[in-house]
Amino acid sequence: MIVLVVNCGSSSMKYQLIDMSDEHVMVSGVAERITFDHGVITHKLNGEKIVIEKDMATHKDAVDLLMEFLVDPKYHIISSMSDIDAVGHRVLHGGSKYSESVVVDDAVLKAIEECTPLGPLHNPANLMGINACAAALPGVPQVAVFDTAFHQTMPAYASTYPIPYEYVEKHKIRKYGFHGTSHRYVTLKAAEMMGTKEFKLVTCHLGNGASCAAVLNGKCVDTSMGLTPLDGLEMGTRCGTVDPAVVKFLCDKEGLTVDEVDDILNKKSGVLGVSGVSNDFRDVEEAMNNGNERARLAMQIFYYRVRTTIGQYAAAMDGVDAIVFTAGVGENSASARTAICKDLTYLGVKIDEELNSKRGEAMFINTPDSKVKVMVIPTNEELMIALDTVALTKDL
Ligand code: ADP
Sequential pLDDT tens for the chain (396 residues): 999 999 998 899 999 999 999 999 999 999 999 999 999 999 999 999 999 999 999 999 999 999 999 999 999 999 999 999 999 999 999 999 999 999 999 999 999 999 999 888 899 999 999 999 999 999 999 999 999 999 999 999 999 999 999 999 999 999 999 999 999 999 999 999 999 999 999 999 999 999 999 999 999 999 999 999 999 999 999 999 999 999 999 999 999 999 999 999 999 999 999 999 999 999 999 999 999 999 999 999 999 999 999 999 999 999 999 999 999 999 999 999 999 999 999 999 999 999 999 988 899 999 999 999 999 999 999 999 999 999 999 999
Q: Is the CB of 199 under 6 A from ligand 1?
A: no
Residues serving a catalytic function are 147
pLDDT for 120 equals: 86
Give residue limits of the domains in the chain. Answer: 2-146, 195-381
DSSP readout, 187-205? HHHHHHHHT-S-SEEEEEE
| Superfamily, domain 2-146 | ATPase, nucleotide binding domain (3.30.420.40)
Check if 332 has its Cβ closer than 6 Å to any atom of ligand 1.
Answer: yes
CA of 326 to the centre of ligand 1 (A): 10
DSSP letters spanning 83-109? G--EEEEEES--TTT-SS-EE--HHHH
- Of 12, 14, 178, 208, the one to substitute when testing ligand 1's pocket (max ligand atoms within 8 A of C-beta) is 208
Atom of ligand 1 nearest to the CA of 209: 3
How far from 363 is each of 150, 214, 369, 378, CA to CA, in Å?
23, 20, 16, 9
Query: How many angstroms does the Cα of residue 330 sit away from the middle of ligand 1?
Result: 8
Cα 134 to Cα 109, 141, 324, distances in angstroms? 12, 8, 37
Q: What's the CA-to-centroid distance between 64 and ligand 1, angstroms?
A: 31
pLDDT at 359: 86
Residue 36 is which amino acid?
F
**Sign of the four-CA dihedral 109, 35, 210, 392:** positive
CA–centroid distance, residue 270 to ligand 1 (Å): 14
3-class secondary-structure state, position 8: strand
39 CB near ligand 1 (under 6 Å): no
CATH number of 195-381: 3.30.420.40
Beta strand pairing call for 363-364 and 86-91: unpaired
> Is residue 229 in contact with ligand 1, taking CB distance under 6 Å?
no
The span from the first CA to the last CA of the chain, in angstroms, equals: 13
Taking the C-alpha atoms of residue 251 and residue 265, their distance in angstroms, rounded to an integer, is 12
209 lines ligand 1 (CB under 6 A): yes
- Pocket test residue of 332, 337, 380 for ligand 1, highest count of atoms within 8 A of CB: 332
Angle between helices 106-114 and 122-136 (to 10 degrees): 160
Please tell me the pTM assigned to this model: 0.96
- Comparing CA positions, the residue from 143, 215, 127 lying closest to residue 177 is 215
Per-residue confidence (pLDDT) for residue 360, from 0 to 100: 80
Distance 264 CA to ligand 1 centre (A): 21
Q: How far is the CA of 207 from the centre of ligand 1 (A)?
A: 5
> CA distances (Å), 29 to each of 13, 174, 214, in order?
8, 35, 32
Q: Are domains 2-146 and 195-381 of this chain identical in fold?
A: yes
Q: Which of 275, 285, 329, 381 to mutate to test the pocket of ligand 1 (most atoms within 8 A of CB)?
A: 329
Cβ–ligand 1 contact at 378 (below 6 Å): no
Q: Quick check: CB of 310 below 6 Å from ligand 1?
A: no
Contact 327 CB / ligand 1 (< 6 Å): yes
CA 272 to centroid of ligand 1, rounded, Å: 14
* Ligand 1 nearest atom to the CA of residue 285, by list position: 25
Question: 352 CB less than 6 Å from ligand 1?
Answer: no
d(CA 212, CA 43): 32
Give 351's strand partners.
366
Query: Which residue has the CA at smallest separation from atom 4 of ligand 1?
Result: 208
* Chain centre to alpha carbon of residue 290: 30
pLDDT value at residue 159: 98
Which pLDDT belongs to residue 10? 85
Asked whether 144 lines ligand 1 (CB < 6 A), one says no
